[in-house]
Structure 1
Amino acid sequence: MAFNYAATYQNNKIQTASKGELTLILYDAGVKFVNMAILALEKDDMEGANKNIKKAEDVITEFRSTLDHKYPVANDFDLVYDYMYRRLIEANIKKDKEILEAVLVDFKEMRDVWKQVMKQAR
């Protein structure tokens, strides 16, 4: 039985991460899954595209479940996440690469803003 060092490292990284770092990990996962879905579509791998779009949807579901609605900005984030989620569903139904590319831009922009927030918080 081979020992998977990468999986162990990733698991430890997640277990020791701060809330801010976990948010960044989630954004990175969203970027990764949308990229993988785009690549799958380019290879006519509809099952792979579906699987990765569903994973990106799960990332958004996680974001939405952690919003603290006692802060007004949570409603703004919820609207953005809802939009991204609906676009992912549409991309999956239509197997539309352009929609996925637009959602990818959204994920990257939100991740980059979050990185700036984390820098300023230090």
Structure 2
Amino acid sequence: MQSSNAYNAYKNNSVNYASKEQLLLMLLDGAVKFSKIGRQAILDKNIAKAHENIIKTQNIFYELIASLDVNRGGEWAKSLVSIYDFIIRRLRDANIKKDIDIMNEIIPLIEEVKDTWNEAYKLSKGAK
């Protein structure tokens, strides 16, 4: 029981003291995880679980769009908004149709976004 409390305290502190970049990576880890759970739930014919996890994934990308400063980020930020918006729309389509093919199409893109941000984070740490 005590180790469980210690883990929860660590987990809470890791979020409370994470940098913006680390929070972004945590969100993207969540997006990958929830999208895969959603895909598996479609396969398992668990409609409620599929819906819940696809919505969680969409909400992460809505948050990512909201956090972008398009004025400062220029064309790069606008491109990200387009990618995030595409992911949201495809997730919506997959959720409405409970379509495994759309999930199989979109999960690699979500993973690619996560990997790109992860690489950018590593490069930014190396540059300091």
What range is the shorter-chain TM-score in? over 0.9
Question: RMSD between aligned alpha carbons?
Answer: 1.6
Structure 1 alignment gaps of length 5 or more: none
Deviation at 1:10, TM superposition (A): 2.4
* Change beyond 3 A, Cα 1:101–1:11: farther
Q: Which has the larger radius of gyration?
A: 2
1:48-94 CA-partner distances (Å, limit 9, x unpaired): 00000010011011101101011211111100011000001000011
- Equivalent residue number for residue 19 of structure 1: 20
Look up the match of 2:40: 39
Asked if 1:102 corresponds to 2:105, the answer is yes
For 1:62 and 1:83, how far apart are their aligned partners in 2? 14
Q: Which amino acid aligns with 2:112?
A: E
Give the corresponding residue for 1:80.
83
The whole-number CA distance in structure 1 between the counterparts of 2:53 and 2:7 is 20
Partner of 1:58: 59
Code of the aligned partner of 1:37: G
Q: 1:46 to 1:74 in 2, by over 3 A?
A: same
Structure 2 gaps, min length 5:
none
CA distance in 2, matches of 1:54, 1:97: 15
Question: Identity over the aligned pairs, expressed in percent?
Answer: 33
Structure 1 residue matching 2:51: 3-state secondary structure: helix
Query: Which structure dedicates a bigger proportion of its chain to helix?
Result: 2
Q: How far apart are 1:96 and its partner, in Å?
A: 0.6
Give the ranges of 4+ consecutive aligned residues of structure 1 lying more than 6 Å apart after TM superposition: none
- Seen in structure 2, the aligned counterparts of structure 1 residues 49 and 114 have a Cα distance that, compared at 3 Å, is same
Q: TM-score w.r.t. structure 1 length?
A: 0.92
